[in-house]
């Protein structure tokens, strides 16, 4: 194995499994990690090995350009700044491993027709409830729709769940449609044509808390701080995150809450992605914030948490303090805690079956008046 023999100290995901037998147990479950604490996760990640201390490091963590070819950037006798005594503290933004946008082409399999049928069932249910569905990128997201969608975000902005700029960024990104992996949908009230609920998603978006969540999970399990569960065991089998769909924005207008609109729109989006061949997704749990003195207190909003659980999204590793109260990292306070769904097709089938058995409100009213 040339990497461990010192010919070229570069480690990639494809080499990680082979390193297990040669690394004296340092690679937990075959997942080598940098001294910064992050594991080797993505298929395009690379780590360098120091010939003095034998530690593995991200290029960005030791000042090596991650954008240049490593074969030209690093000599075979690479020694890290920790061993040479030249290490200096770097800004976190300067120390991040480079993340590449990776396209995952659509693959419509034999089950795509079933997911199309599930999506049609959701559309029919929304139409029967008196709401008009608008889907992107098939339809154009207009400035008027964006203004009305921002009205749906007012309460979330007021309780500091997210900033005003975040939903506007998501909406503008969808409007500009910079790549084919952006999609979403909204519903408008039939009587006023006002936007009542919005769900947006991105199938090519690794710049989130997802990678750090998987890294933290592996660290906690390797240190014995978490008990393995069926969910964590499934998560440990994840070898890359490129194919995960990020559900970037899920909001409902205050006047339209309690009608199940977000549940149906999220189901619609998952069905559309399943028809395109995607099976895994994630979102960031909404956190309400309260400023007390110089501290920011975070709490998980109950209604969104129930929505996420209903649609099959779970927390991988809940962090709690000595008293069992939830605690959040600075990153989670900023973007929310990551929740994942590793089997969206099963969720779509389950929820679509429930949807078929629930009569619409319009159908119920018609039956009473007939």
Q: What is the pLDDT of residues 80-122, one digit of tens each?
A: 877 887 765 554 444 444 455 678 899 999 999 999 999 999 9
- Choose between 341 and 322: higher pLDDT: 341
Residue 307 in contact with residue 267, Cβ under 8 Å?
A: no
- Tokens for 126? 């929304």
Q: What is the pLDDT of residue 88?
A: 59
Q: What is the pLDDT of residue 37?
A: 61
How many residues does this entry show for the chain?
Answer: 370
Helix (H, G, I), strand (E, B) or coil at 203: coil
The whole-number average pLDDT for the span 179-205 is 93
The pTM for the full model equals 0.72
Q: What is the pLDDT of residue 356?
A: 57
Q: What is the DSSP string of 256-319?
A: GTTSSHHHHHHHHHHHHHHHTT---EEEEE-EEEEEETTEEEEEE-HHHHHHHHHTT-EES---
Range from 8-22, 46-60, 174-188 carrying the lowest mean pLDDT: 8-22
CA 93 remoteness from chain centre: 20
Q: What is the pLDDT of residue 235?
A: 87
CA dihedral for 96, 210, 171, 258, sign (positive or negative): negative
**C-alpha to C-alpha distance for 33 and 90, rounded to whole angstroms:** 19
CA 27 remoteness from chain centre: 25
Q: What is the DSSP string of 54-120?
A: --EE-GGGGT--SSS-HHHHS-TT---HHHHT------GGGSPPP-----------TTHHHHHHHHH
**C-alpha to C-alpha distance for 230 and 184, rounded to whole angstroms:** 31
- 312 dihedral zone (left: phi>0; alpha: psi -120 to 50; beta): left
Q: What is the pLDDT of residue 65?
A: 59
- 56: exposed, middle or buried (C-beta count within 10 Å: 0-12, 13-18, 19+)? buried
User: With the CA atoms of 86, 92, 94 and 97 taken in that order, what torsion angle do they form, in degrees rounded to the nearest 10?
Assistant: 100
Q: In whole numbers, what is the pLDDT of the chain averaged over residues?
A: 78
**C-alpha to C-alpha distance for 315 and 340, rounded to whole angstroms:** 7
- Please check the confidence at residue 3 and state whether its pLDDT lies above 60: no
**C-alpha to C-alpha distance for 96 and 181, rounded to whole angstroms:** 25
Q: What is the pLDDT of residue 103?
A: 83
Range from 70-74, 258-262, 318-322 carrying the lowest mean pLDDT: 70-74
The whole-number average pLDDT for the span 236-246 is 86
Cβ-Cβ contacts under 8 Å for 353 (sequence gap 6 or more): none
Helix (H, G, I), strand (E, B) or coil at 136: strand
Range from 180-184, 200-204, 328-332 carrying the lowest mean pLDDT: 328-332
Show the domains of the chain with their CATH numbers.
2-94 (3.30.40.10), 112-369 (3.40.630.30)
Q: What is the pLDDT of residue 122?
A: 96
Q: What is the pLDDT of residue 94?
A: 45
Q: For residue 39, what is the DSSP state?
A: B
Residue 214 in contact with residue 238, Cβ under 8 Å?
A: yes
Residue 281 in contact with residue 270, Cβ under 8 Å?
A: yes
CA dihedral for 36, 38, 40, 44, sign (positive or negative): negative
Q: What is the pLDDT of residue 298?
A: 80
- Please check the confidence at residue 334 and state whether its pLDDT lies above 70: yes
**C-alpha to C-alpha distance for 255 and 192, rounded to whole angstroms:** 12
Q: What is the pLDDT of residue 22?
A: 41
Q: What is the DSSP string of 220-239?
A: HHHTT-S---HHHHHHHT--
The whole-number average pLDDT for the span 13-26 is 40
The whole-number average pLDDT for the span 279-298 is 82
């Amino acid at each position: 194995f040339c990497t461990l023999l010192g010919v070229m100290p570069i480690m990639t995901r494809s080499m990680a499994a082979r390193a297990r037998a040669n690394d004296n147990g340092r690679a937990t479950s075959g997942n080598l990690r940098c001294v910064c604490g992050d594991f080797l996760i993505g298929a395009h990640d690379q780590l360098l090995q120091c010939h003095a201390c034998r530690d593995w490091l991200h290029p960005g963590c030791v000042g090596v350009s991650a954008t240049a070819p490593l074969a030209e950037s690093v000599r075979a006798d690479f020694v890290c700044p920790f061993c040479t005594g030249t290490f200096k503290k770097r800004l976190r933004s300067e120390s991040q491993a480079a993340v590449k946008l990776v396209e995952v082409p659509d693959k419509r399999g034999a089950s795509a027709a079933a997911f199309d049928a599930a999506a049609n069932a959701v559309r029919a249910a929304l139409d029967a409830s008196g709401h008009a569905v608008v889907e992107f990128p098939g339809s154009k997201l207009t400035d008027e729709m964006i203004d009305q969608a921002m009205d749906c975000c007012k309460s979330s902005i007021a309780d500091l769940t997210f900033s005003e700029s975040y939903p506007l960024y998501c909406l503008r990104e969808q409007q500009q449609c910079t790549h084919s992996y952006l999609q979403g949908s909204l519903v408008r009230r039939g009587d006023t044509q006002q936007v009542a609920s919005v769900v947006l998603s991105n199938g090519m978006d690794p710049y989130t808390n997802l990678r750090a969540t998987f890294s933290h999970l592996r660290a906690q399990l390797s240190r014995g701080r978490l008990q393995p569960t069926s969910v964590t065991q499934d998560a440990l089998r994840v070898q890359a995150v490129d194919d995960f769909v990020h559900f970037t924005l899920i909001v409902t207008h205050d006047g339209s809450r309690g009608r199940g609109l977000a549940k149906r729109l999220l189901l619609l989006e998952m069905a559309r992605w399943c028809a395109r061949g995607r099976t895994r997704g994630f979102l960031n749990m909404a956190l309400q914030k309260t400023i007390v003195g110089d501290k920011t207190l975070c709490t998980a909003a109950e209604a969104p948490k129930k929505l996420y659980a209903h649609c099959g999204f779970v927390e991988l590793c809940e962090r709690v303090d000595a008293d069992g109260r939830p605690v959040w990292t600075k990153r989670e306070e900023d973007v929310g805690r990551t929740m994942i769904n590793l089997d969206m097709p099963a969720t779509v089938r389950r929820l679509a079956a429930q949807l078929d058995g629930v009569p619409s409100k319009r159908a119920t009213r018609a039956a009473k008046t007939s």
